[in-house]
Structure 1
Amino acid sequence: MQIMTPKARSDVHVNLPALQKLDSMLIEVLDSMVDTEYWYVESGSRSGGRGKNNGERQTKKWWLPSPCVPEQGLSQFQRKRIVFQAKLVHQILKAAKSINEQVLLQIPIPMAVMDALPKSGRSSLGEDLYHAITTDYIPIEEIFVSLSLKTEHSVLETMNRLEGALFAWNQRISEERSRRSPARHSWKFMKDSSSELEKMSACIERVETLIQLLKSRFPNLPPTFIDVVKVQYNEVIISLSWHNMPVG
């Protein structure tokens, strides 16, 4: 008889102590929110006080309760307390997102999805962005400004294009290095190939810098296409592994 016991993945297990610490810190913040001068009301409620959106609610997240404060506003003590709690929660969020990003980086892109990704950096980026990335003298900050990103959708679309280019270039570099052999190719071929790989490596570095800039300017973006499929595929594998496990 074989006994089944749950086991955390190694990449998750190594981060569990930090995640548990962050969870405890967040619970402490929530538990400290007692005797507050503010409260929350459901949409359409006529509770007294000054709300964030009096009258018709002008918000995308209409299902969330609205915060309300007394007509005279919050006391100085309550304001300082909220600012401190907000900064602490923001630091917890940043730490949790950093751990999440590191775990996602270690999850391979599923083979079933690779065929749907662009086969070249140029096709993923489009001509204008490709030209900007491959032109060394154009600063990354200038490229960012030229993108004229107005909406969350446009930012996410740009992130998907950049990550698609990263995948294509990294795949190309991996393939070139695996099949390079001095015995099979001339010195001129090897030199040209090395020059091409160096150009791609430089482009990868510039794209990664631009991605980090986008993440810093738009910290609350939804997950990218590649991150979504990594998580979905990982859930399927875990489910299949669990169901196919022998029970005795």
Structure 2
Amino acid sequence: MEDLSNSDGNYDLGYQPSPSFVDQNDQSIPETPGYSTLSGESFVYGRTCSETSAFSDPIDDHSCCSEASTSHWPPTRSMAQNQAVLSRLGTKQQGNEDEKQLDYLESLELELEMMKDRFAKLLLGEDMSGTGKGVCTAVTISNAITNLYATVFGQNLRLEPLNPEKKALWKREMDCLLSVCDYIVEFTSKSQNLSNGTALEVMKSRPRSDIYVNLPALRKLDAMLIEILDSFEDREFWYAEDGSVSSNSSRTGSFRRVVKRNDEKWWVPVPCVPPCGLSEKASKHLRHKRDCANQIHKAAMAINSGVLAEMEIPDSYVASLPKSGRASIGESIYRFMLGTEKFCPDYLLDCLSVASEHEALELADSVEASMYTWRRKACIKHSKPSWGMVKELMSDVDLSDKNHILAERAESLLFALKQRYPELSQTSLDTCKIQHNRDVGQATLESYSRVLEGLAFNIVAWIEDVFFVDRAVTTQE
């Protein structure tokens, strides 16, 4: 009894009694297993009052001493048993490492197959017959970036984070397509002093100036757009498809029956907001992201316009120019452009009342064709054989010449038209430049800026749709 009381005192102090102190005839207390089960994913060392350690020794009736041990540590198992447990643990950890290694090898194999596909298309010029009738490398890269954008963002018509797989696909393949710009360089002279004091001029390579300036900016804009989409993981609005708002019982009814709007793009999902409208915090977040996307859109559009302006005008477009710019834009626009002393393009656009995007694109094509017709007439007295000299000749043209004035006003009208209709498709000249371009660096910058410009414009439009719904619901309430 004295020994048993001593063991009870030790148990109160945190000592776990050996199973030998438990009466074997008493079946109310279950036997403790000799070792704990180890998880295959992680090893957790857990100990409670009813369990022994995984490394403790099983104890029988003859192994107990007459007095309770004063040590708080249970007896340890033999070295051979410990080695067996550690061997089983090491086997499971080795299995996990093997699975990770297999996953890594599979990802490398997928990237290798992707690079083979890209390399083959670049060499063949998208001509799978191999007869050499494919397009040039610049057009191939431009088409590849455009098709990749359609694959990743073509079905993403909502303000929500991009699918992780598509995000990884976009980053991986864009890195591959943009890597060609790392090898487009220009050489500049640099002074170098030798150890004996002799000064030498050596040629040093660096990225071409247009790539050096624009490519890092486009990468930054790309990351900012992905960040904007990721910020809408937790949102107060949701989307209804095919007239159904949600399976949630608190969101009953269809937004299409509540608010009527002219849905020209019927395939775009309809945003829905709570009955009381968006909270002030959600509205502020939407306004901030809309402003950011709008600035990104302007920056991408400026880069795209600059790259297109630097591309050479194809001879096929020059041959198709009208002989008279007056006949191209029409009598009424011609009289307005020439008859006023101070030309206001925005006022002219208000008077024209362009009703659709198709009409705006036709007007842009005619104004652009007239602009180059008048520029050619203004420079015709120099009689230079190459159309590429027009930019240099414009500095020598008399500023009071009528053709020069009309060309400058046509350019301002075209700029105002593109600013008023930012979703306007590419003009005939832009399309012709892209198709006949042979500069790989310009093709990469143009296509990259064009797809980012489209994504930024879509984000702004989606946010405007949410605000439209919020205003309609608030007004109805």
The corresponding residue for 1:185 is none
Residues 203-240 of structure 1: per-residue CA shift (max 9 Å, x gap):
112112222222232222222121122222337x86xx
The corresponding residue for 2:431 is 228
The corresponding residue for 2:154 is none
Residues 63-118 of structure 1: per-residue CA shift (max 9 Å, x gap):
12221222222111111111111111111111111111111111122212322222
Change (3 A) 1:49 1:223: farther
Question: Does structure 1 retain, via aligned residues, the 8 Å contact 2:243–2:256?
Answer: no
For 1:115-126, list aligned pairs within 5 A: 115-126=319-330
Alignment of 1:80 onto 2:284? yes
Distance (whole Å) between structure 2 residues aligned to residue 212 and residue 151 of structure 1: 18
Distance (whole Å) between structure 2 residues aligned to residue 196 and residue 28 of structure 1: 48
SS at match of 2:433: helix
Give the residue type in structure 1 aligned to 2:265.
K
1:170 to 362, 375, 386: 375
Distance (whole Å) between structure 1 residues aligned to residue 315 and residue 400 of structure 2: 24
Question: How many residues are treated as equivalent by the alignment?
Answer: 220
Deviation at 1:166, TM superposition (A): 0.9
What stretches of structure 2 of length at least 5 have no aligned partner?
1-122, 124-176, 185-207, 385-396, 441-477
Give the residue type in structure 1 aligned to 2:267.
W
Distance (whole Å) between structure 2 residues aligned to residue 49 and residue 126 of structure 1: 54
1:160 to 340, 355, 365: 365
Question: Does structure 2 retain, via aligned residues, the 8 Å contact 1:124–1:161?
Answer: yes
Give the residue type in structure 1 aligned to 2:218.
L
Question: Does structure 2 retain, via aligned residues, the 8 Å contact 1:159–1:224?
Answer: yes
Question: Does structure 2 retain, via aligned residues, the 8 Å contact 1:124–1:164?
Answer: yes
SS at match of 1:71: coil
Deviation at 1:51, TM superposition (A): 6.2
SS at match of 1:67: strand
Distance (whole Å) between structure 2 residues aligned to residue 124 and residue 139 of structure 1: 19
Larger RCO, structure (CA 8 Å, separation 6 or more): 1
Change (3 A) 1:73 1:49: farther
Deviation at 1:120, TM superposition (A): 2.4
The corresponding residue for 1:13 is 211
TM-score with structure 1 setting the length: 0.77
Change (3 A) 1:79 1:129: same
SS at match of 1:7: helix
Question: Does structure 2 retain, via aligned residues, the 8 Å contact 1:38–1:68?
Answer: yes
Distance (whole Å) between structure 2 residues aligned to residue 197 and residue 24 of structure 1: 47
Distance (whole Å) between structure 1 residues aligned to residue 299 and residue 253 of structure 2: 34
The corresponding residue for 1:96 is 300
SS at match of 1:30: helix
Distance (whole Å) between structure 1 residues aligned to residue 299 and residue 372 of structure 2: 26
Question: Does structure 2 retain, via aligned residues, the 8 Å contact 1:133–1:203?
Answer: yes
What's the Cα RMSD here? 2.9
Deviation at 1:52, TM superposition (A): 5.4
SS at match of 1:40: strand
Distance (whole Å) between structure 2 residues aligned to residue 233 and residue 206 of structure 1: 28
Question: Does structure 2 retain, via aligned residues, the 8 Å contact 1:159–1:211?
Answer: yes
The corresponding residue for 2:355 is 150
Change (3 A) 1:159 1:66: same
Distance (whole Å) between structure 2 residues aligned to residue 113 and residue 206 of structure 1: 21
Distance (whole Å) between structure 1 residues aligned to residue 273 and residue 422 of structure 2: 28
Alignment of 1:25 onto 2:228? no
SS at match of 1:53: helix
Residues 182-202 of structure 1: per-residue CA shift (max 9 Å, x gap):
xxxxxxxxxxxx779721111
Change (3 A) 1:22 1:139: same
Change (3 A) 1:43 1:7: same
Distance (whole Å) between structure 2 residues aligned to residue 159 and residue 22 of structure 1: 28
Give the residue type in structure 2 aligned to 1:174.
C
Distance (whole Å) between structure 2 residues aligned to residue 121 and residue 220 of structure 1: 26
The corresponding residue for 2:17 is none
Change (3 A) 1:52 1:90: farther
Change (3 A) 1:214 1:57: closer
